[in-house]
Amino acid sequence: MTAIIATRSEKFSIIISDTRENSEDGSSYKDGVYKLRYIPRIGFISGAGLVDFLDMVKEEVINKRKISSIVEFSEMFDATVKKVKNNVNEHERELVDNSYIVIHVLYELDNNLEYYSMFLSNSYINKENEGSNGFIIDKGQIRVIYPKDLVEKEKTFQEIAERVNKKNTVDLNINQALLETIRIFTEITRNSEQVSSDCQIGIQYYNDLTKENHTEGLYGDAEKFLELALRNKLVKKFRTVESLQQFK
């Protein structure tokens, strides 16, 4: 199971994903699997759950030539769900229903550019979510998809989740927000066998000096990233995602 952390504000968005792929029974795993992918020109996509299904959704989104509305992400997800569920057994249908896609994009709506963080899953379709398969997180909210083995450590999970729910990035700059999210990620990795310490980070931010929006990525050890973030030096390590093999 993957760990994904996401947040957004007026001037930036951050998404972090681990790189460990676990076998279904949890008996083995493979590290170095790049789960966070670059969506050309607009942002990032990652996911947690049934790998083949997630890869299909990612390819659909990445290969889409033009996105006319962010609602299209939900429609593409739903179409892929139906296609896959028609060709798999009941157990795999349940895995599809409990899989998650997270999309981070810079999108223009009503002539205003805004950073969006969208979570999609069939598990969200209920009365509380008004029948929708997804939602956009509030500005400042930190949203986490936790690994199964951590959730099963009930006391530890509740302590971490309560701390996360109290945090807010709306008034932070990108350096401060990176520190908060990396801290959360490293705490998860220290308490889970299903999550790698190596991670991919995707950021989008507005540079007040250049008056430009930037989309950048970074791959490596979260513990080392935490050390850099504590010294306010992490943002300087990011590179354009087009130049990074880990995001293609």
User: Per residue in 236-245, pLDDT tens?
Assistant: 999 999 888 8
Tell me yes or no: is domain 4-247 CATH 3.60.20.10: yes
The answer to whether the beta carbons of residues 184 and 164 sit under 8 Å apart is: yes
- pLDDT class of 172 with cuts at 50, 70, 90: very high
User: Which of the four pLDDT bands, split at 50, 70 and 90, describes residue 130?
Assistant: low
Provide, rounded to the nearest whole percent, the portion of the chain with pLDDT above 90. Answer: 81
Q: What is the pLDDT of residue 128?
A: 60
- The pLDDT of 136-156, averaged and rounded, is 97
The residue ranges of every structural domain in the chain are 4-247
Across the chain, what does the average pLDDT equal?
93
Give the pLDDT of residue 245. Answer: 87
Taking residues 77-100, what's their average pLDDT? 95
Query: Given 3-state DSSP classes, what are the helix, strand and coil percentages for the chain, each rounded to the nearest 5?
Result: 40, 30, 35
The residue-averaged pLDDT of 62-72 equals 89
Residue labelled with tokens 């302590």: 159
Q: Closest Cα to residue 80, out of 68, 66, 62?
A: 62
pLDDT of residue 131: 66
Amino acid at the residue 39: I
Mean predicted confidence (pLDDT) in 212-218:
94
What does the pLDDT read at residue 25? 78
Task: Provide the β-strand partners of residue 45.
Answer: 37, 103
Q: Is the pLDDT of residue 126 over 70?
A: no
Q: Does position 221 have pLDDT exceeding 90, yes or no?
A: yes
